[in-house]
Amino acid sequence: MEAKPGDIVEVVTKDENLKGTLMPSATGSIVVKLDSGYNVGIDQKNVKEIKILETLKTEKSPEYKMPEAKGLSTIVILHTGGTIASKVDYKTGAVVAKFTPEDIVKSIPELRNIANFKSVLVSNLQSESMRFGHYNLIAEAIVRELEHKPKGIIITHGTDTLHYTSAALSFMLENIDLPVILVGAQRSSDRGSSDAAINLISAARFIANTDFKGVAICMHASTNDDKCVILPGTKARKMHTSRRDAFKAINATPFAEVDYETGKVNWINKNFYRPFASFKLMPIDEKVKVGIIKTHTHTQPEDIAYFGNHKGLIVEGTGLGHSATTAFDEISKINEKSKAELAKIAKKGVVALTSQCIFGRVNMNVYSPQKELLDIGVIPGLDMTTETAFIKLAWLLSNYPVDEARKMMIQNLRGELVERTEFEEEI
């Protein structure tokens, strides 16, 4: 039997024997986490033998259903991994967590009064490893649950790309007729300061007690443990690396706040998604040629030309709707070459402009350089974040022809585009 990451092993080399937890390694060397907490990397050619002292206990079952309480609706929890599921990561140091789907539900007794829970393991990934293919896995898992008509679905997810996934599911689950709430945690569940339980309980209460439909995010409203916030799936973003209130609504208001003490839902904005026809799963093509370029003061024409064969490109510009594309003097002449490269891509595919600013709207009509971008076929990203615009573009190009995708980029499909609001000063 070959040793797997998470196993307790003894690695025998010609010089020494090392005991510890076998770690996943991408470099080809054998990495062992010693009891001291240190990781030791050993060149494979020096390893004589790896003895397995204790095999990793893996998931007993990928699916778990709690004993049912009468009169309560059912909520399905789809686990995808991340800090919220990293209870065991910290103990063993292993990234492949000994995580069983019932763990979280069992460890949070408050949940039992809110609903019946069914728990399904979809993946076990830190969210920085999530890719388009995972969105399809999650969406398919949701579709499988739909036939059982649950009250709603909670997706536990790492926080790094949670807003990418929430945007992806918003577009993919056309006419979804129930709430799909993504929940993450900034502190792992085995820590006293963990936000996992409060975020999960608040999401469950929101599902149980409201008629919300569509995709949203439930995370801490502030660094206090008193309230969670329900954020629109297409208009939110991780805005802090470590704070528990890292997720913020961008160019939008939260849908609601959930008071942890009282369980009360305070609506802020009831303008949520309403299905307009029958449900349809519209996947994202894992091979679609879309990319993001963050432009800056040293962007080279080659940087843009690299995307020459892309079907879609999001250009994160520097401000209201600019990107350096106009020559005003000798030095900035290079920007004109960049524009020429961009024009080539926009002619065949879809190029949309977003802003580094995150907050505010891309307006391509105020200054001449932006008008020149409009002239070469660049589409304004309006008030979408770079991430939402990117996911929307990937999804559009997976499901519609280029011409159609261009038009739909500036149409509001899932609440991703909001009319001018109090978030903007008039310009």
Write out the two tokens for 40: 């030791």
Is residue 227 part of the annotated active site? The answer reads no
Q: By C-beta, is 190 or 424 nearer to a copy of itself?
A: 424
Q: Is 299 helix (H, G, I), strand (E, B) or coil?
A: coil
Rg (CA), the chain: 24
Shortest distance in whole angstroms from residue 387 CB to a copy of itself? 7
User: Is 294 designated active site?
Assistant: no
What are the structure tokens assigned to 47, written together? 């390893």
Sign of CA dihedral 106, 110, 113, 115: negative
Q: How far is the CB of 245 from a copy of itself (least distance, A)?
A: 9
Q: How far is the CB of 215 from a copy of itself (least distance, A)?
A: 16
Smallest gap from residue 324 Cβ to a copy of itself (A): 5
Q: Is residue 159 annotated as part of the catalytic site, yes or no?
A: yes
Q: Which of 105, 167 has the CB closer to a copy of itself?
A: 167
Min dist. Cβ of residue 112 to a copy of itself (A): 30
Q: Which of 21, 74, 80, 159 is catalytic?
A: 159
Of 331, 327, 330, 299, the residue nearest 315 (C-alpha): 299
In terms of CB distance, is 147 or 425 closer to a copy of itself?
Answer: 425
Nearest to 342 by CA among 322, 320, 366, 367: 322
Which of 227, 235, 238, 248 is an active site residue?
A: 238
Q: Which of 21, 74, 80, 83 is catalytic?
A: 83
User: Residue 369 is inside which H or E element, if any?
Assistant: helix 368-375
What is the rounded CA–CA span in Å between residue 9 and residue 34? 10
Give the C-alpha separation, 333 to 342, whole Å.
Answer: 15
**Catalytic pick from 160, 195, 245, 383?**
160
Of 109 and 192, which CB lies nearer to a copy of itself in the complex structure?
192
CA distance to 315, 351, 354, 355, per residue, from 345 (Å)? 11, 7, 16, 19
**Could you tell me the CA-to-CA distances from 59 to 19, 116, 124, 129, 223 in Å, in that order?**
24, 21, 11, 20, 33
Minimum distance from residue 326 beta carbon to a copy of itself (Å): 6
Nearer CB in complex with a copy of itself: 65/187: 187
Closest CA to 205 of 259, 157, 283: 259
Task: For a copy of itself, give the closer residue by CB, 8 or 256.
Answer: 8
d(C-alpha 209, C-alpha 55), whole Å: 43
Tell me which residues are annotated as active site: 83, 159-160, 238
